[in-house]
Chains A and B, each alone.
Chain A
Amino acid sequence: QVQLVESGGGVVQPGRSLRLSCAASGFSFSSYAMHWVRQAPGKGLEWVAVISYDGRNKYYAESVKGRFTISRDNSKNTLYLQMNSLRVEDTAVYYCARVGFVGAIFRTFDIWGQGTMVTVCS
């Protein structure tokens, strides 16, 4: 079955780094663009970044630009989010999500993972 499973979350101090992973299964991962979306405790959804199916195109939210890097390894069916210079305000559940159309970037998210919690505190 189509599935996304995030991992790599945890507690980290401000200024440190963390790398999240999202393992995909049940579909042709290399054919779909992928997103990261986060949700701070008790807050709404915030889009973080998107990467095209081939990894050539990447877009970021202003709040993370220059600090976070989205990447993918299609041979491993895995999406990544490298988070550097972490801030307290980056504390959130991080979800990976699939774009619902083969080859497209600017469309809806049809499959979501269960999320991984990142806590930034001193």
Chain B
Amino acid sequence: QSVLTQPPSVSAAPGQRVTISCSGSSSNIGNNYVSWYQQLPGTAPKLLIFDNNKRPSGIPDRFSGSKSGTSATLGITGLQTGDEADYYCGTWDSSLGLLYVFGAGTKVTVL
């Protein structure tokens, strides 16, 4: 049972937009920056969004992040087949000492 709640899967046709939610609490998302990581099949995770809504160099602006209260959202526009992957939200949590927590992951399928 993950501290951060994500939908198990989302899907859409190529070119469409999807959003992935990440719900937490005041001990994690509510008081810390959220990051999003993309994991393509058989590869290591890759940073997609940091500090709630910032993109590292090289990440296209089709990917966006936002945060409101104790929830965060990842948006992907202009969906491409290469976006099929697992997406994880993550942040620091202070409820039981200091530790980093991930959501369970959301599988994005391009129909």
Give the B-binding residues of A (Cβ under 8 A). Answer: 35, 37, 44-47, 50, 59-62, 95, 97, 100, 106-115
CA distance A114 to B40 in the complex (A): 12
Interface of B is mostly: strand
Q: B33 contacts A112, CB within 8 Å?
A: no
Q: Is the interface of A mostly helix, strand, loop or mixed?
A: strand
Judge if B99 is at the interface, Cβ distance under 8 Å. Answer: yes
Contacts from B to A (Cβ < 8 Å): 2, 32-33, 35, 37, 39, 43-47, 50-51, 56, 86, 88, 90, 92, 96-105
16 contacts between A and B (CB under 8 A): A35-B100, A37-B45, A45-B45, A45-B90, A46-B102, A47-B102, A108-B35, A108-B47, A108-B51, A109-B35, A110-B50, A112-B44, A112-B45, A112-B47, A113-B44, A115-B44
Contact partner, A44, options B33, B56, B96, B104, Cβ 8 Å: B104
Which residues of chain B are near A95, meaning CB under 8 Å? 44-45
Contact of A106 with B32 at beta-carbon distance under 8 Å, contacts A62-B96, A100-B47, A114-B44 already known: yes
User: Number of residue pairs across A and B with beta carbons under 8 Å?
Assistant: 64
Q: Which residues of A contact B86 (CB under 8 A)?
A: 44
Contacts A45-B37, A109-B35; A61 near B99 (Cβ below 8 A): yes
Cβ–Cβ < 8 Å partners of A107 in chain B: 33, 50
Q: Which residues of A contact B92 (CB under 8 A)?
A: 106
Instruction: Choose among B2, B43, B99, B101 the residue with the greatest number of A CB atoms under 10 Å from its CB.
Output: B99
